[in-house]
Structure 1
Amino acid sequence: MAKPGQSSFRRILLSRILLLSVPVLLMGVYVTYRKARSSILETARQNLTESAVKKGESISESIKTLSTNLVSASESVVLQSGSPYQKQEFLDQLAKQLPTQVQCLQLISINTQNLAASTCGEQAISAFSASEWSQQETALLLDPSQVQVKALLPGTSPLDSTAKPSKNASKSQLRLVLSAPVYDSAGSLRYALSVQSALLKQERGKPGSLVGYPVVIDQDGTILAHPIAQRVGRNIEQEADGERLKTVMKNAIADQPPNFLHLFSFEKNGVELLAGYSAISSPITTQPDHKWIILAVTRLDSALSGLTEIQQVLIVLTFGLIAASLLATLYISRELALPLEQLRDYAGTEGHLHSIDRVPHNFKIREFNQLSEALDSMVERLKAWAEELETAWKEAQAANQLKNEFLANTSHELRTPLNAIIGCIRLVRDDCCDDREEEMDFLQRADDAAIHLLGIINDVLDIAKIEAGKLSVVLEPLDLRKLLKDVIDLQAVQIHQKGLEFITPDLQEPITVHADPAKLKQVLLNVVGNATKFTDKGSITITIRIETHHRKEAVGSLSSPSPSLVGGQEARPEESVSSLSRSLSPTALSSAKERLSPPLLVVVTVQDTGIGIEPAQQHKLFRPFVMIDGTTTRKFGGTGLGLAISRNLMELMGGSITLSSAGIGFGTAVEITLPILDPSALPIESTNGAKN
């Protein structure tokens, strides 16, 4: 269950992808927009610079053409010797023929400054001095360089107040007065032919036009032409963009290549302008280094008018790309989150550990398939561990039950001999016996019960030592024949009392083994005692056979012998020989060394015809506290420790003990296996029975 504040993997993945993709997309659109704007601005700057150069060339060409036409007209015979009427008619015709916009044509007398003919009123547009030209014609043809050019600023021309401007005239245009001398037929200076003309058409550029409107500035800073009439005649120092304009003039005067600049207050405050500029030689002076600065100016928004369409396209494209990115992100997040959701659903469903369903596979992403396989393997391991835990839990329950049964059985086993001891001793103490023989009988019974009680306590102590790893044996060479004979003698009476047939081997030759006499006797007594206890009729048979070590391994009835222990420690071969060397002769010591890898084994088999054991239960009998069931314990008694202690003792002595039974009612066979030593390893006994 999700906790408050947590989010799903799909939502996180979707938000992260969008947080990364949308800003990148917007940044790309912004960069594209800025690049397009820069490209348009660069194009506008180049076009405006070219337009300024062309405007400068157009002004120079117009002045030159007008000067040439004016010189040609001044050489006309009509002006030299015609009547006043002819002169007036000639000026009217000339005004129509000139290629530039002519505002006024006048023929002015040099001596009297009176008008001989005029197309624009009775007042002279310019005054002339007789010294401006030579009094006598020095050449057959006049040179256009003799034409004088003057720039007219607002209020300096009589036409500004008297003449009615034409429909196409504009005070903001560049107005010039060009004058040429007129000589009579005798070559004397008589008149000055003057023309007032506007050379530039001040037209507002259309949006998107990169031609720009012209502005002309004299080298001294005077504005000669501007679309705003009030600015004509002003000096650039009076303008807010004066410093920028001064920089332009310095660059132009220094004959640097044509360039452009940004203006912010040259037309209207707050309106940014783009201006390309170039320079031409000033036509109103003969000084070669005097220049006019020609500007081609347009508004920035007009230059960037084409950017509006690009901006609209980018906006539509941006929204389209965001929508496409959202759809792609939804698809990608679904493809990436779906496998995790399937794995989550599988892991969140209860009961998978007990089902045969596998973790979802066949994802499109390799890593998810690998994760699925890893989860599948983990589930299989968990199932195996769960089964092992369940088995261990059942075994623990069984072990706990067995220990409870063991405690109950042991308390019963302890109570019985204790009651017998207490009862017999009290009878003797209270002098309830008739004679000494009866007293001795009760005391013998108490002694037997005490010995039985001591055996139970010894078994409990032995199993405790085994579990603590402290049980030890002292190994020495011994004659198995004599040890077995003592066991048979001790058990024969009890076997015969139960009416059982007791079949024992008749051994003639000694069988030497390396074992702890007391512990081996304890094992044999336990095995024969169990056979006697669980057999009500039939027989108990003890047999001995000799087998090779390899054969025993081949049939698989011999468990791997554990290393011998001496004093509770693992007895290595050299330590075993060292422990024997203190009590054995050199010959016996040599035989003991050969015993460390014996070629032969002795197998003691105790076969009974008792109750038998189910094959499925046989492997449990060598565990501590284990008996077949509670009814067997109650019927036959015992603590269930005998076989467990016997197995550990046999392993400590380098041998083994195994049990087999065909089933219930078919008896049981127990085999005790030990390696055989050379008989010469036995100590030599003296005639009085003492060992030397």
Structure 2
Amino acid sequence: MAKPGQSSFRRILLSRLLLLSVPVLLLGVYVTYRKARSTLLETARQNLIESAVRKGQNIQQAVDTLKANLEIARESVELQSPSPGADQEFIDQLAQQLPTLIECVQLSDIQTRKLVASTCGNQAIAQKQPTLWPWQRSLLPRNRSPIYVTALLPQKPSTTVGTNPKRTDSTHQLPLVFSAPVYNAEGQLRYALSIQSSLVHSQPTKRRSLSGYPVVINQEGTILSHIDPTRIGRSIVQEKDRGALKEVLSQSLDGQQDSLHLFSFEREGVELVAGYTAIQSPMTAEPNQKWVILSITSIESALYGLKDIQQVLLVLTCCLIAASFLATLYVARDLARPLEKLRDYALHESDLHSTDRIPRNFKIREFNQLSDAFEGMITRLRAWAEELETAWKEAQTANQLKNEFLANTSHELRTPLNGIIGCLRLVRDGFCDDREEELDFLQRADDAAIHLLGIINDVLDIAKIEAGKLTVETEPLDLRKILNEVINLQAVPIQQKGLEFHTTDLDKVIPVRADPAKLKQVLLNVVGNAVKFTDSGNITINTRIEAFAETSPEVSLNNGNDRGEIAGSKEKKRERLSLPSTGDASTDSTSVTPSSRVVVTVKDTGIGIDPTQQPKLFRPFVMVDGTTTRKCGGTGLGLAISRNLMSLMGGNITLSSDGDGHGTKVEISLPIIEHSLLFSGDSQLSNDVAQMFESADNNAEDSNVISQ
């Protein structure tokens, strides 16, 4: 029975599918609409930029045409005739023959400043200054046109210029006056020929038209042409869009051609799209200035056709929503029906050991697989519970080991530090009676510092091991020499504890390939543990050479001082062929085959180790007896580091004990190399080092027994 506030799976599935599909559908429609709008707008912008470029080219072409026609007209013979009637007739013909719209053509006398002939009444369209041109034709500059161009801007926005009856509206804008000098037959300046023409035809753009209407702004920011005559002659700083217009002026003067949006340049609140470019100013008084040409149209014209797209998208959206609803109903039914059958089975079959089978005949493979999974779920859950319990116990054990390691390490660090601090303060404060006592305290501080350094090195080594960055530098060496150094270093602690020390004859050379420092570290750790955990009895060190057959080599070693890398962690399968002892038989090291190995055995009569705890000793941070290790000192890292170092050098280390109180035996094995490699060039040893080894063979001291 359903509880209040709950809903069926089918209803939830239906609602979720609709909530997912409908917004995605609407989002897709919206993205399509925005994409169509941006595409139309981008097309309009490109067209307006091209339109502005064409308008600028048309203005420049009209100016060049008028200049060329005026240049031809001023050289005409009729203008040099003294007959006034001929001048008027020529001017009338010139006004009709010019290709552009001519509003007025006038011929005025330079000296008297009176009109000689005119096509637009008796009012002069421009004041002629005799200083514009030289009085003699010969003084005209050859590299500059004598035609003078000026613009007629109205004093008031609504004022029109001239009295030409052809100009009945304000669509013809940007009136320019072209003036040229006329010389008589003797080369004397006589007349000024002037033509007034409007270069811009400004009319509101039609719908669907992306050409736009022109707007001309000079470099000073004055509007020379606009669809609204009241704005002609105004500065752009008086416009509400002055920020955008200043940016257009700056960019176009830099040679850029682009588009922008204006919002108050035509009417308040009307968004406009404009493309702009710049042309060279045709006015003579502005030789190095430019005009900005804008082609402007409304946003409705730029986005013409978007409403049709909106209607199509609206109809398409309604159809898609209806289709999505029907498809969701069908999908929800097919998905919910198998689940409802499984629900009915679970509600009516409360006995987990029931013989009734779960419904399986579904069209959907995943639901059939779900039915099969129900049968094995309990078994897997029980197995997982057992695994989790085991993992939890292991995690608790690991956490306990970490805590014990931290406690022991802090104790091991604090003890030598306290000794160092105490000894140094006694020397510093002058409590020593003589120099010998000072040296004694300093020696104690030095011993504690060395001990502290060893603990820190162990921690750093185990960190390198866990990070996989511990490496060794192997080279051919004499194992006997390393053993003698270790025995000499442990002689004092052995004598202090009153232990007997036995060793075999170490006069024979034992050639191996290993890292001298790392091998010495391993031997010191093993022998040091034997001394540390043996209160009475003896410690025995012996060596033996045995042959073995290696089926899967784990370490790759090269000649010279190269690195030995671990190739795997599997145990080597060795078949022991013979067990000769270096103490019992005089085995010549030169006869050792490449498949032989040396085994160094360190045996003590110390506290021993429980056999059940022995496999854990080579794990980091593991201590079999915390109280014992706390008493004897240590961090539990030595054996773990030693095993990793031996693996890197191609050897092995094992530990065995008969139990508590029966002592411990540790065996360290390394492959033996050819005896000649110790002194050959391949070993990379100098002749002096070889002679040192030979001298050590002849003068080795007898260290068989060391006792108190």
Q: When the two structures are superposed, what TM-score results if normalisation uses the length of structure 1? A: 0.50
